[in-house]
Amino acid sequence: MSRPKPTILLEKVEKETYKAEQVLASEGIWAVYYDKKPINLKTFNMLISYPGPKYKKVSFSNPGHAINLCKKLNKQFQTDLFTVVVLDKGKQIYP
């Protein structure tokens, strides 16, 4: 049984290198959220399929790494919809 295709929320392609980054919807990530919804983060090259896509971490064991990723994604996609939430009750802690 094959894996279902992910829902792509945002995509950024660098025109010079054709490197693409996608923000993917997820049902089980509890650290960095986009628009109050959990996400996955995938990077890959648009020209070649080898070695394949890379999935980046979006949940962490301490808030510092999650906040840094949140700041980076907000800057990269020019938005403020990425947030960091506490895992216990979904309480937003940044911003």
Q: For residue 79, which amino acid is it? A: T
CA distance linking residue 91 with residue 14, whole number of Å = 34
Would you call the peptide bond into 53 cis, given omega within 30 degrees of 0 as the criterion?
Answer: no
Position 26 scores a pLDDT of: 64
Res. 63 pLDDT band, cuts 50 70 90: confident
Position 2 scores a pLDDT of: 75
Task: Decide if pLDDT at 76 tops 80.
Answer: yes
